[in-house]
Amino acid sequence: NAGVTQTPKFQVLKTGQSMTLQCAQDMNHEYMSWYRQDPGMGLRLIHYSVGAGITDQGEVPNGYNVSRSTTEDFPLRLLSAAPSQTSVYFCASSYTNNQPQHFGDGTRLSIL
Amino acid sequence: GQQLNQSPQSMFIQEGEDVSMNCTSSSIFNTWLWYKQDPGEGPVLLIALYKAGELTSNGRLTAQFGITRKDSFLNISASIPSDVGIYFCAGQGAQKLVFGQGTRLTINP
């Protein structure tokens, strides 16, 4: 039972580069979300999706794009990386938007 | 946006001591959740609370959903070394979770 799988686990980028963080879940969850975690700030919601073909913005969406073409996958795209996007990124999923979410192990992203 | 105030931010205790942490909000939530995060890993759900006034236990952990629906607390009894980590509260709002800033627990053997 894989749960929520995030790849890569670590990544270093240069300012201005683009990148896609992958997230996949095998639990047939409709709801998926992306958070970033910064020291002393807890987890902040970037984007979320309540089902395939539907996405919406969270608390800190600027600089990030998402798409949800399948139930299983919810990639997060950085179109032009900035040092302020250095963070740990977590993907999470749940059956519906009001059920407890299950988290992946995170992607640690550094932007130089 | 909505914010949760979680306290304390950090705790340094002796093994065997009891621990208490809490979370307050200016908004009402219909669900409160408590997660634990170990270094290098994602948060793991400990306890979910769905009704105001609800008191729920999971082993040595006990959590309560405040009657006003604006607060929750988590207690850990007889702490052990593997309790070390960061504990997060989260309130379930419309379509999304709102997290507290976390409580970092350190245990001296």
| Residue pLDDT, tens place only, A12-57 | 999 999 999 999 999 999 999 999 999 877 899 999 999 999 999 9
With vertex at residue B99, the alpha carbon angle to CA B96 and CA B104, rounded to the nearest 5 degrees, is: 155
**What's the pLDDT at B93?**
79
Task: Name the residue in chain B with its Cα closest to that of A51.
Answer: B95
Distance (Å, rounded) from C-alpha A43 to C-alpha B97? 9
CB contact under 8 A, B40 and A105: yes
pLDDT of residue A97: 84
Q: What b/e readout covers A44-69, taking b as 16+ CB neighbours within 10 angstroms? A: bbbbbbbebeebeebbbbeebebbbe
Question: Are A100 and B45 within 8 A, CB to CB?
Answer: yes
Determine the residue type at A62.
N
pLDDT-derived band at B84 (thresholds 50, 70, 90) equals very high
Q: In this predicted structure, what is the pLDDT of residue B15?
A: 96
Nearest residue to B61 via CA among B85, B91, B28: B85
Taking the CA of residue B31 and the nearest CA in chain A, the distance in Å comes to 8
Average pLDDT over residues B19-23: 97
Q: What is the pLDDT of residues B51-64, one digit of tens each?
A: 999 999 999 999 99
Q: Which of helix, strand or coil describes residue B93?
A: coil
Q: What is the mean pLDDT of residues B22-41?
A: 94
Nearest chain A Cα distance for residue B95, angstroms: 5
Q: In the A/B pair of chains, how many CB contacts fall below 8 A? A: 54
Distances (CA, A) of A66 to A21, A49, B107: 10, 9, 40
**pLDDT value for B2:** 63
Whether the predicted pLDDT of A1 surpasses 80: no
- Name, in order, each residue with C-beta under 8 angstroms of B33's C-beta and a sequence gap of 6 or more: A100, B45, B47, B48, B49, B89, B90, B91, B92, B97
- For a pLDDT cut of 90, what percent of chain A falls above it? 90
User: Reduced to 3 states, what is the DSSP secondary structure of residue B64?
Assistant: strand
To test the contact with chain A by mutation, choose from B96, B101, B103 the residue with the greatest count of A C-beta atoms within 10 A, namely B96
**Is 60 exceeded by the pLDDT of residue A107?**
yes
